[in-house]
C-alpha cells in the first residue's frame, strides 16, 4: 500500500467511536450568561441524547475531542507545533479579554508538514480553566484548516448556521456513554461564534525575495545543502519572511519551513543508518540499493524515511532463520 501523504492523513474520517455529541444552545436568551443558561420560555433539563443539563432549546453537533485531534496531528507530522500569534514580554500568549479582563479568545499559528495556518479559540467569559480550554479550542480550530474533522465542522455549520453558539452553561458533552465537562470537552465541531472577535492579525504578503530560498530548501536532499541555504537566508535576514510551500502552495515562515525540512532529512539519515546496520548484520553488503528497489520500488535517494525503515525491517526479518 502506498504511503499516505500528510494531507491524506489529516483528512481521514474519524471512526464512530471517537465522535461524540456536543450540545449547542440555539436560543439567544438562553445563551445570555445573565440568564444562567435558561430564559423564561425554555426549561433547563437533562438531555437524553448528550446527557447535558442544558436549555431544552439546543441542537447536537458531532465533535472530536482534543486528545484525538492531537493524535491525528502526531500521526501526520510528529514534529508539528503551534505558537501564539502574539506574545507578551515574558514570551507568554496574549489573549483577547472581556471587559473584566477574563481571557475569551486566542489567535495561534499551527504548523503541520511545514505549512502554517491560523486558528482562533474562544470561550465564554465565565469559562473555568479558560487558558487551557482556549489553547485546546484554538488548536482544534486551526487543525480544521488542515482538514482535521472537516466533515464534522461542515455538518455543524449546516445544522444551524445562524444560531449556533457555545456557552459555559452548555452542560456536558457525551461520548461513548461517558460525559465530559463542557469546558474540557469544548470540541472540534461545527462553527464557533467568537465573542468580540477581532480581525485576524495582519501578516505580510509572501516575500518574493525569500521565496527562492524556500524553493532551494524543497530541493535539498542532504543536511549540508540545507544548512547552506539556512546560512544564506539568515545573512539576508529572510528566515522570518512569509513564503509559499513549494510542495503544497500553503504559506508559512521560511524559518519554520527550514526547521521542518531539517527534521525530515534527519529522519531520513537515521533511517538510512538503520538500513545500513540491518544490511551489515544480515550480511547484505554487495548491493543494498537493489534490495531497497526490490522492497520499496524506489531508489535509496528517492525513498522516504518510512520506506527505508520498512526495507531495514524486511532485511532483518529475512535474515532470521525459520
Q: How far apart are CA 22 and CA 37, in angstroms?
A: 15
User: 143: closest CA among 185, 82, 200?
Assistant: 82
The helices-and-strands tally (H runs, E runs) of the chain is 10, 12
Which residues, including other chains, have CB under 8 Å from residue 290's CB and lie 6 or more apart?
none
SS3 116: strand
Distance between alpha carbon 15 and the CA centroid of its chain, in Å?
18
Domain ranges for the chain, please list them. Answer: 18-181, 211-319
Of the candidates 110, 109, 51, 102, which has an alpha carbon nearest to the alpha carbon of residue 77?
110
pTM value is: 0.47
DSSP string, 224-249: HHHHHHHHHHHHTT-TTSEEE-TTT-
Q: How do the pLDDT tens digits run along the chain, 322 residues long?
A: 456 788 899 988 888 777 777 677 777 777 665 555 567 788 777 877 777 777 777 777 776 777 888 999 999 999 999 999 888 778 889 998 877 788 888 999 999 998 999 999 888 777 778 898 889 889 988 998 998 887 776 554 444 443 333 333 333 334 444 444 333 334 444 333 333 333 333 344 788 888 999 999 988 888 888 888 988 988 888 887 888 888 878 788 888 888 888 888 888 888 888 888 887 777 765 567 777 777 777 777 777 778 888 888 887 777 655 4
CA 254-259-262 angle, to 5 degrees, is 125
- Unique residue bearing C-alpha cell 541555504: 229
Strand partners, 31: none
Strands 251-253 and 53-55 come out as unpaired
Amino acid at each position: 500500500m502506498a504511503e499516505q501523504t500528510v494531507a491524506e492523513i489529516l483528512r481521514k474520517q474519524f471512526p464512530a467511536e471517537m465522535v461524540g455529541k456536543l450540545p449547542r444552545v440555539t436560543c439567544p436568551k438562553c445563551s445570555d450568561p445573565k440568564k444562567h443558561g435558561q430564559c423564561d420560555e425554555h426549561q433547563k433539563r437533562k438531555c437524553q441524547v448528550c446527557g447535558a443539563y442544558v436549555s431544552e432549546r439546543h441542537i447536537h453537533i458531532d465533535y472530536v475531542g482534543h486528545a484525538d485531534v492531537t493524535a491525528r496531528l502526531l500521526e501526520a507530522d510528529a514534529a508539528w507545533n503551534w505558537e501564539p500569534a502574539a506574545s507578551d514580554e515574558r514570551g507568554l500568549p496574549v489573549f483577547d479579554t472581556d471587559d473584566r479582563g477574563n481571557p475569551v479568545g486566542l489567535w495561534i499559528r499551527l504548523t503541520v508538514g511545514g505549512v502554517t495556518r491560523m486558528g482562533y479559540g474562544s470561550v465564554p467569559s465565565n469559562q473555568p480553566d479558560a487558558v487551557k480550554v482556549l489553547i485546546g479550542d484554538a488548536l482544534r480550530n486551526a487543525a480544521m484548516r488542515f482538514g482535521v474533522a472537516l466533515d464534522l465542522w461542515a455538518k455543524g455549520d449546516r445544522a444551524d448556521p445562524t444560531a449556533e453558539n457555545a456557552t459555559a452553561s452548555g452542560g456536558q458533552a457525551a461520548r461513548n456513554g461517558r460525559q465530559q465537562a463542557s469546558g474540557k470537552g469544548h470540541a472540534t465541531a461545527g462553527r464557533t461564534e467568537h465573542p468580540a472577535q477581532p480581525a485576524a492579525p495582519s501578516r505580510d504578503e509572501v516575500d518574493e525575495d525569500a521565496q527562492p530560498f524556500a524553493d532551494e530548501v524543497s530541493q535539498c536532499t542532504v543536511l549540508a545543502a540545507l544548512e547552506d541555504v539556512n546560512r544564506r537566508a539568515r545573512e539576508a535576514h529572510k528566515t522570518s519572511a512569509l513564503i509559499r510551500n513549494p510542495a503544497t502552495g500553503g504559506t508559512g515562515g521560511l524559518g519554520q519551513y527550514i526547521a521542518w525540512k531539517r527534521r525530515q532529512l534527519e529522519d531520513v539519515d537515521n533511517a538510512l543508518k538503520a538500513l545500513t546496520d540491518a544490511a551489515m548484520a544480515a550480511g547484505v553488503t554487495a548491493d543494498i540499493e537493489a534490495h531497497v528497489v526490490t522492497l520499496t520500488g524506489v531508489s535509496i535517494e528517492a525513498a522516504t524515511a518510512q520506506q527505508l525503515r520498512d526495507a531495514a525491517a524486511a532485511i532483518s526479518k529475512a535474515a532470521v532463520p525459520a
